[in-house]
Amino acid sequence: MYRALYRLLARLDAETIHDGVVAGLRTAGKAPPLRAALRALCGVPADDALAVTAFGVRFAHPLGLAGGFDKHADMLHAAAALGFAHIEVGTVTPRPQPGNPRPRIFRLPEDGALINRMGFPGAGVEALTKRLERRPAGLPAWVSLGKNKDTPLGDAGRDYTLLLERLYPHADAFTINISSPNTPELRRLQTREYLSDLLAGLRETAARLAGNAPPKPLLVKIAPDLDWAEIETVAELALQHGLAGIVATNTTLARDGLRGPARGETGGLSGKPLRARSTEIIRHLRGGCGDRLTLVGVGGVFDGDDIWDKLAAGASLVQAYTGFIYEGPTFARKALRGLKRRMQAEGVASLAEMVGR
């Protein structure tokens, strides 16, 4: 049914559909009978064998909704009902900004991919804070932090610090997004020149805000287009400054082997073409830093085998965006069923046995 509907909707602008779906999920999520129906049709039944622990927190299973899908924390209730075990909202910027001109999301169904050049559109941190103040209990919510387009790179630290200070009481963890290809120069923040000071400042801010409690986890999200030396620099600095983990990866600028007519569009590519590269990065990071960092695998997760591959490479958690778009509302349920089948085939009784090892 979703595929037939998808073919119909695919004639319309991708972002218009996205906004409509998120608005619908926002409404459904807030109405208990609709939420219950969503849960019954799409939810993931509790299963201790799928539970994982990452940075001391228990997650019902490893699959979360990746940054950028629910930019404004509209669908927290619905995300839980749809079976996700955590959500990353945002990316938020301090001040409201329009993002790039539309259209700015392009489908490549032939490739199981999307290209986007959103450029962090949003209503800014005050609007997001109000939403998160009323967030439902039960679903771990992380916030992805970004800088405004017109903030000079040298002042980026101020944007990230302001966001962390404002949002700290209202989220469970924070992802420092320095890897979107759609904000000019943002990816330069991944170099030692900028990153060391940025992470040191944010870590200090988190410690101050935490008071006597342990600071909430800070993660950094990296681009798949970094080379190994650059990835190792990020990992070294993440360890040096006491970060909880790395989210790997954001979208890619690579365009190898695509068939979709939209392949020439400017922006970041997500989905199946990114899968192998992001898994390879997880494996490399796990080899280099052992269990000292929590790794979150993102890129081309469409089914249970994709989740398995990222966990086997060393991720403790995984996230998906494009797979959810193409597979539809039962994505999490089907993917976790597939994961359970794969665990049985591999002789793994519970994910706790393998995750993070």
Ligand X SMILES: Cc1cc2nc3c(=O)[nH]c(=O)nc-3n(C[C@H](O)[C@H](O)[C@H](O)COP(=O)(O)O)c2cc1C
Q: Does 251 bind ligand X (CB under 6 A)?
A: yes
Q: Does 223 bind ligand X (CB under 6 A)?
A: no
Print the binding letters for residues 181-220 with ligand X: x by CB under 6 A, - otherwise: ----------------------------------------
d(C-alpha 79, C-alpha 106), whole Å: 23
E-assigned strand segments in the chain: 52-54, 57-59, 63-65, 86-92, 105-108, 113-116, 141-145, 173-177, 218-222, 245-248, 268-271, 294-298, 317-320
The residue written with tokens 């082997």 in the block is 257
179 is catalytic: no
Find the shortest distance in angstroms from Cβ 263 to ligand X. Answer: 15
Residue 116 vs 205, nearer CB to ligand X: 116
Q: Does 62 bind ligand X (CB under 6 A)?
A: no
- Residue 354: CB atoms within 10 A of its CB come to 17
- Site for ligand X (CB under 6 A): which residue of 129, 250, 294, 316? 250
Print the binding letters for residues 292-331 with ligand X: x by CB under 6 A, - otherwise: ------xxxx------------------xxxx--------
Q: Does 67 bind ligand X (CB under 6 A)?
A: yes
Q: Does 177 bind ligand X (CB under 6 A)?
A: yes
Phi, psi (rounded to 5 degrees) for 345: -65, -30
| Burial degree of 109 (CB within 10 A; 0-12, 13-18, 19+) | middle
Q: Say which of 144, 179, 180, 270 is annotated catalytic.
A: 180
Q: Does 91 bind ligand X (CB under 6 A)?
A: yes
- Site for ligand X (CB under 6 A): which residue of 161, 183, 190, 270? 270
d(C-alpha 88, C-alpha 283), whole Å: 22
Q: Name the strand (E) or helix (H) holding 81.
A: helix 76-81
Find the shortest distance in angstroms from Cβ 321 to ligand X. Answer: 3
The radius of gyration of the chain from alpha carbons, rounded to an integer in Å, stands at 19
Q: Does 279 bind ligand X (CB under 6 A)?
A: no
- Site for ligand X (CB under 6 A): which residue of 99, 271, 297, 356? 271
Q: Name the strand (E) or helix (H) holding 107.
A: strand 105-108
Residue nearest to ligand X (CB): 68
- Quick one: which of 148, 170, 150, 172 has its CA closest to 160? 148
Q: Does 356 bind ligand X (CB under 6 A)?
A: no
Supply the DSSP symbol for 262. Answer: G
Q: Does 68 bind ligand X (CB under 6 A)?
A: yes
Token pair of 62, please?
A: 């490893």
Residue 91 vs 161, nearer CB to ligand X: 91
Dihedral of CA atoms 275, 277, 280, 284 in degrees, nearest 10, equals -140
Q: Residue 37 CA to chain centroid, in angstroms?
A: 26
Token pair of 293, please?
A: 């960092």
Residue 251 vs 294, nearer CB to ligand X: 251
By the criterion CB under 6 A, which residues form the site for ligand X? 66-68, 91, 105, 114, 116, 118, 144, 177, 180, 221, 250-251, 270-271, 274, 298-301, 320-323
What residues are labeled active site?
Answer: 180
